[in-house]
Structure 1
């Protein structure tokens, strides 16, 4: 693996690690905040229902009480309601249909939000009239949490792409002096002596450039001396002694 790829890989790894930590913290905070909002809304609706049902329960008008319950609770935020009259012991149980949603099942399993279940006593002038049991459906929390999660993931992905593109450009520019040294070293291995390398603006590379230039000069001088000696040797032709008998 090249140094460029290694730097880019480590940068991506660090960014992903930080992103996961930030995402987990934000997810946990948002989840708790939405659950608290759901609880407050549930309590407010339950209080409003007991206030609205009280006049009809005083007259044992359970049919109208059932109509009021449907108006208040028949939506995607509630699973079922059970109204038990204390005076007549009659019970009205209503189950509400679960709406279709686009939230993935794995996300709901991961979020693990429990439905709220409460039972309140409806009374009038300190006289108990009925008990109302309500079980909600945490659809509100799932929808808000899913939308918030998608927004966070989109933002992190966008920032990640911008960061990687920016780092790739920066790393390429930073590693240019090393690439020049690499090419010069390859040429040096092939007995090709380049010009003296310029001093790098990076302090860490200055010593490397200085040593490389010194080695290049020494090798160039050595090969020039060897070349001159070879030429001198070739120019000296020995004389042959001839005998005439």
Structure 2
């Protein structure tokens, strides 16, 4: 195997190692960010809904509580929205099946997203009237994680191709000199410097 091929293989291996490390670090950072967003989203919704229905829970107006819960759940951003009494019995129970469209199953298995549950107490004055339980749907977050990963992979392929082409071109110039470049540069590389006509004569 020639030296140029060995160097090309070395550059390729280094690029693959750099990409693998960068890819996993980027995916892990994005996944951690999305999980924190899912947790914050669920908790904020639970707190907001708990404050909104507190008056109606105190009055026993279950119809209004149900309609307000449905208005939030029907947006499609939530996997679970449940209104419970203080004994834990569900008064309003809304659940959405976990379907992840546009994301390969193998990617979901390799990079799962946890979906923490947000909880809030529904107060009626100084008395606890019930609980709100909310869980965000991970479908949108998984799709965003997948799209970001594809974008990273695409940019790596483009960058790797450019680096390889530049590397091959540079190696050809260095290892396979020819023509005028060889005539002018090779004597300098081996220490054969031409005499200078303007060099002053030494004093004797």
RMSD in angstroms over aligned alpha carbons?
A: 2.5
Greater relative contact order (CA < 8 Å, ≥ 6 in sequence): 2
Shift in CA distance, 80/201, structure 1 to aligned 2, threshold 3 Å: farther
Q: Where does structure 2 lack aligned partners over 5 or more consecutive residues?
A: 193-204
Q: Deviations over 1:93-119 (max 9, x none)?
A: 111244552011111111121121233
Q: How far apart, in 2, do the equivalents of 1:58 and 1:2 lie?
A: 83
Q: How far apart, in 2, do the equivalents of 1:112 and 1:25 lie?
A: 15
Q: Which has the higher helix share?
A: 1
Aligned residue for 2:76, secondary structure, equals coil
Q: TM-score, normalised by structure 2?
A: 0.80
Give the CA deviation at 1:198: 7.7
Shift in CA distance, 103/52, structure 1 to aligned 2, threshold 3 Å: same
Structure 1 moving runs of 4+ over 6 Å: none
Matches within 5 A, 1:1-245: 1-86=1-86, 91-98=91-98, 101-177=101-177, 200=186, 203=189, 206=190
Considering only CA atoms, is the larger Rg found in Structure 1 or Structure 2?
Answer: 1
Shift in CA distance, 157/21, structure 1 to aligned 2, threshold 3 Å: same
Contact in 2 for aligned 1:49/1:69 (Cα 8 Å): yes
Q: TM-score, normalised by structure 1?
A: 0.68
Aligned length: 188
